[in-house]
Structure 1
Amino acid sequence: MTKQLFLLLTLLAVSHTYAQKINYVVSFPNIVHHEANISIAASGIPAGKAVFRMSRSSPGRYATHEFGKNVYDVKAFDQGGNPVTINRIDGDVYEVPKQNGFVRVDYTLYAAYADGTYSGIDPASVHLNMPATFMWIKGFDKAPITVTFNIPTDKKWTIATQLKPTGNPIEFTAPGLQYFMDCPTKIGSLTWKEWNIKNPNGNDYTFRLALEADATDTVAGTFATKVKRITQEAQAVFGEVPAYDYGTYTFIASINPYVEGDGMEHRNSTMISIPYAFNGDNSLLGVFAHEFFHCWNVERIRPKTLEPFNFEKSNMSNELWCAEGFTQYYGQLLLCRAGLRPLGEILASFSNLINTKENTPGAKRYSPVEMSRHAVFVDAGVAVDRTNYPNMFSSYYPYGGAIAMALDLQLRTRFQLTLDDYMTALWKRFGKTEIAYTVTGLEEVLADVTHDKAFASDFFARFVTGHESFNYEPLLEKAGLTLKKQYAGKAWLGQVSFTEGTTTISSNTIIGSPLYNAGLDNDDVIVQIDGHLVARPADINELLNTHKPGDVINITYKHRTESKTVPLTLGENPTYTLTTYEQAGLSVTKEMMDFRNNWLGTKIK
């Protein structure tokens, strides 16, 4: 092939690619019954077969979701509006066997579950997660997208989205499929609040709170001020906010009784839904802190296992202990630094992290990497059969958060560094460059930050790819905090749930617990303890109060129709609680208070 011919073919291919366009039009003629009419028109595509489909996964989620179940009345048309053949070749896949470079597919969407994963269409507002809403054409991920929302004429609604605005207030664009699918959209009677944050390089970014709530302007403004404080504390961790596309970050927040509880991070926005009446209380802020931290950690400091995101299947990742778990830790830490969460509450959150790491079977048996991989089943996944998750899974959120806290304390104690320093280094290497990372890359950055390759290798081997116990107690003492057993000396059967008002076990018994070791499990009914009849959980607790850990008792239970009596050795509840030296009546030194304030105090200068 001659050079001239190659250049000509290249130019033709490029011009053909740029000619490809995807246009969506969304209308709501049957909004009272939660339906939308959606049209997708593809132009400039090669003639022949065209395949359209609904997604089975969504950014920020890792399990599969059958969004195609809510799509029906699918029809196809040519450029002249004439019907063309379209075949359903799978549950959520449709094929137009023949088209001449343009095809339009119309369908009806039913949506009645407003949260971060699904969509909700209602006369009061429209709540759209893009993968749950929009069919897409396979093979044209790079084609530019335009979407028009035909708002009902009787509504004075505004639109909150991270899609690029145009001169038309109901029309938006996206550079391609990956960006489009990462742009949740809220349409309704929204209260808007704005503020700006400047980076050290002088670039200024706009932050918006688009709030769907029953709130006065004053209460909404006060709440926005609190969210602003969170954004400032997060900026202080990394030294800068990301260079948001189109210069804007949007908190899309529905806080009202008509949504489902969720928070979902996106590149330049977050979709938050809290099913409570809005009162502006600080208790609402945790999800804001968590999801905002994600605009660094996971949206830009991004695992290679999630790149590119696959909308057709589950997305297994090795690194959610960092992407989600470190974010879990910082979500709580930012609230404390911002003065929006009292010390007692932050210590309760930290106690939960430690108990997950030290007292749950999943974390005692499996590494954070292994637990991350299990997200394809547990991350809002749906199962009708029973699982053994209580004995083989620990959430990578608190598990990873416990690893983050352990690393933070070690960095502060051993190297006079902080986890902020590590996160900033990750940001510079992987975030600003948008180079996807691996577990090995995370270890390499830790070695660079500490200048101690042996420490980084040991930490990852023991606590990231391994699952060793971590000794938090001496490190927490440096902050004047004491870690102790919450129920020391009290007899314990194990962590167990009962069917309300009965002694029927309604949960898996936990491996290593007294009930598990004695052979009891789900659906067994405890009848007697040491010859005493029991009918309610309160009866069991009364009898346990007469014993101590290590006592051997007889327990009679019914398994289906069979009655059994077995010996059971009582244990001690291993749950930890974290308190201040002051609460424990111990003396606090200046060094301890300095350590505590440097860790938990504000970083805004």
Structure 2
Amino acid sequence: MKKLYLSMVALFATATAFAQSDIYYSLSFANAAHHEAEISMRIGQLPTSALRVRMSRSSAGRYATHEFGKNVYNVKAFDGSGKALEIKQIEGDVWEVPQHGDVVKVTYTLFANWTDGTYASIDPSHAHLNMPAAMMWAVGMDARPIHIQFKDYEKYGWKIATQLKPESESSYFAPGLQYMMDSPTELSNFKATAWEVKNPDGKKLGIKLSIHSDDSQATIDKFTELLKKVVLEEQAVFGELPVYDYGEYTFLDDVYPTVSGDGMEHRNSTCIVQPAEKVEGNETRLLGTYAHEYFHSWNVKRIRPKSLEPFNFEHADMSSELWFAEGFTQYYGGLVLIRAGFGDAESYTRTAAGLINTVLTSPAALKYSPAQMSRYAVFADAGVSIDPNNNANVFTSYYTYGGATALALDLRLRADFNLTLDDYMKAVWLTLGKNMKPYTIPDLQAVLARVTNPKFAADFFGKYINGIEKNDYAALLAKAGMVLRKVAPGKAWAGSVGGFQQRGRSGQARTTGAAEGIPITNSVAQNTPIYKAGIDAGDIIMKADGKDLADAGTLQEIVAAKKPGDKIALVYKNRTGQHETTLTLEENPAYEVVTNEKAGKELTKEQSAFRAAWLSSKVK
């Protein structure tokens, strides 16, 4: 009995010591009307060296640098008995406690007034918390378990939705820093639904939906039925759902006209923010974000680029694999909606055209590979710089670039190997994702080699991933009874410029409201007539073809009356004075995709079968 008693004492002592090494947060919202939260962080069993705490400069799912430290103030430190300690701000987002005992409690005020997938927002309607924007953390203590308690939220009528593990009604647990930072949390009077999905092994996983919006519960219930179709279609791509930590996945959505539209994937949840009046009436449009972000629970959060593992919260995280992580996800986001019945072949042609134009008509795609464009994300992904850039010529979105690459690979696998991109994604999942083996580009090539053959894989990656060659989209789409053609053949085109945008066949122009001339406010794309005429940001086009230009509409009318090859005399001015140049009009290089039926061509049985196999539901 004595031995048993001593063993129990030793076990209790060990558990207590473990708990003392945990990190404890507390968040209260007494001043929510003014967008503030009071946050404390208690850290025990500290070494004698100086303690450093900091705010993040990056956020899980984002690739550019953000300055979250700017919204933290009133930072104070105390010892275990509540006595004030000296705390120094040694960088903009780093504080140091030079002298301390075994326990330190750091407190601060957080200002939060931006609702999206990256930042935080607090007002009497909700506390929308993306953790890197809200939570200070202790440097070098990433592996310590974390406990988070929310206080005084009930007085606002709020509930709590999060992927964090519940410990009580108001307290939650994260196994470490990486998980906490990857766990957005919404406190509000949201509407919620829940259901289960069975995997092929018979195990059931929970799916939760929490929507903060001005909709009725009946509307959210109906929306849930639509979302269930998306979830099942994506499960069909990979053959199974991931095994979610703590057994469930949570959709967090905030729908309101003044929020900033966004979607941000996380390991067992997604944070979706949509600037709309309500869910009701916008269901199909809103589902597009759900389809994209939920696909990330496989691709990105488990099929994980080695360059992002582990995620570094102190600076921008650069990856050469975003063409796959984001781009292939972009492709499936659109494809899954069609498979789930939220569109048809005709509506999908517009999605395909958007992807293809990125590859075939943007200046950057003609010069840079998908891998190189992925690395530019550290500047492009909601970056916070305010100075003008030359993205019109040096950047093409890895979302659409990768999406167009996925489209081509899918059609090539179907045409040449009697396989599909689903087969490839399943193989990547089983090889690299299910076992959480961080991958590189050669790893993705190796999987494609096993699915097809080494020669095809080397050729595809050499030309279209690490190189800048383009697939023959016209031939590939023809297999599915679709036609790739110029959007405005035989029509004169001047190009897109800051303050002037000529649009396809509609003949409409975007006006600037300028009182005199057309000011060029953004960089001009190199493959446009207006660029070749020497016009760029800082110029003001005063006359065209001898006519004064009061607005962009006048220039549009002049161009519309011409044909490709015609020349127009331009008068423009800038800081160096007034100048003249010649604008030589061209045909718009943009493409559209139409079905054979719309193009007046026969749809063969083979094309119809190919299209159906590609776009039809995969749920059995």
SS class of match (2:597)? coil
Equivalent of 1:510, from 525, 529, 551?
525
Q: For the structure 1 residues 243 and 183, does the alpha-carbon distance in structure 2 shift closer, same or farther, using more than 3 Å as the test?
A: same
Residue 587 in 1 paired to residue 587 in 2? no
Kindly provide the CA deviation profile for residues 122-176 of structure 1, in whole angstroms up to 9, marking residues without a partner as x.
Answer: 111110000000000011111000000013342332100000011x110000100
RMSD: 1.6
In the alignment, residue 331 of structure 2 is paired with which amino acid?
Y
1:261 positional shift: 1.1
Displacement of 1:276: 1.0
Q: In the aligned structure 1, how far is the partner of 2:323 from the partner of 2:54?
A: 32
One-letter code of the match for 1:221?
A: D
Distance 1:225 1:362 in 2: 41
Match of 2:539 in 1: 524
d(CA) in 2 for partners of 1:120 and 1:36?
Answer: 10
The equivalent residue for 1:127 is 128
Shift of 1:258: 4.1
Equivalent residue, structure 2, for 1:473: 474
Instruction: Specify the code of the residue in structure 2 equivalent to 1:201.
Output: D
Residues 151 and 157, structure 1, Cα contact 8 Å, conserved in 2: no
SS of aligned partner of 1:365? coil
Q: Match for residue 443 of structure 1?
A: 445
Which letter does structure 2 place at the counterpart of 1:575? A
> Which residue identity is paired with 2:179?
Y
Letter of the aligned partner of 1:308 in structure 2?
P
The code of the aligned residue for 2:135 comes to: F
In the TM superposition, residue 317 of structure 1 has moved relative to its aligned partner by: 0.4
Matched, 1:230 2:230: yes
Task: Give the superposition deviation at 1:329.
Answer: 0.5
Query: Whole-Å Cα distance in 1 between the matches of residues 368 and 18 of structure 2?
Result: 47
Q: Which whole-Å CA distance do the structure 2 matches of 1:201 and 1:583 have between them?
A: 44
Identical aligned residues as a percent: 49
**What secondary structure sits across from 1:442 in the alignment?**
helix
**1:403-439 Cα distance to aligned partner (Å, 9 max, x none):** 1101111111111111111111110011101000001
Q: Is the 8 A contact 1:282 1:341 kept in 2?
A: no
Q: State the partner residue of 1:48.
A: 49
Is the alpha carbon distance of 1:279 and 1:163 closer, same or farther for their aligned partners in structure 2, counting shifts above 3 Å? closer
Instruction: State the AA in 2 paired with 1:189.
Output: N
How far does residue 201 in structure 1 lie from its aligned partner after superposition?
Answer: 0.7
The equivalent of 1:66 in structure 2 is: 67
Q: Does 1:551 align with 2:566?
A: yes
Cα distance between partner residues in 2 of 1:18 and 1:434? 29
8 Å contact from structure 1 (residues 48, 100) kept in 2 = no
1:388-537 alignment, distance < 5 Å = 388-450=390-452, 452-498=453-499, 500-502=512-514, 503-537=518-552
AA aligned to 1:401 is: G
Distance 1:296 1:106, change over 3 A: same
Which residue is 2:320 aligned to?
Answer: 318
Unaligned ranges ≥5, structure 2: 1-12, 500-510
Instruction: Report how far residue 68 of structure 1 moved.
Output: 0.5
Other-structure match for 1:79: 80
Indicate the larger mover: 17-26 or 41-50: 17-26
Is 1:289–2:291 an aligned residue pair?
yes
User: Which residue identity is paired with 2:128?
Assistant: H
Structure 2 length as normaliser, TM-score?
0.93
Q: Gaps spanning 5+ residues in structure 1: where?
A: 1-11
1:561 deviates by 5.2
Give deviations 1:292-335, integer Å, cap 9, x for gaps: 00000000001000011000000000100100011011000011
Task: Find the residue that maps to 1:284 and give its secondary structure.
Answer: helix
Residue by residue over 1:359-414, the C-alpha shift from the partner in whole angstroms, topping out at 9 and shown as x without a partner, is 00111110111111011111110122111110110011111101110111111111
**Any conservation in 1 of the 2:388–2:522 contact (CA below 8 Å)?**
no
Q: Distance in 1 between matches of 2:485 and 2:404?
A: 16
- Equivalent position of 1:164 in the other structure: 165
Structure 2 SS opposite 1:229: helix
In 2, the alpha carbon distance for the partners of 1:125 and 1:501 equals: 38
Shift in Å, 1:255: 1.0
**Partners of 1:13 and 1:310 in 2: CA distance:** 31
2:380 corresponding residue in structure 1 = 378
CA distance in 1, matches of 2:463, 2:154: 61
> What does residue 178 of structure 1 align with?
178
Match of 1:264 in 2: 264
Report the equivalent of 2:150: 149
1:242 aligns with 2:257: no
Counterpart Cα distance in 2 of 1:44 and 1:201: 43
Q: How far apart, in 2, do the equivalents of 1:563 and 1:419 lie?
A: 55
For the 8 Å contact 2:302–2:433, the answer to whether it is kept is yes
| Partner Cα distance (1:506, 1:239) in 2 | 49
How many residues align structurally? 592
Counterpart of 1:170, as a letter, is S
Distance 1:487 1:271 in 2: 39
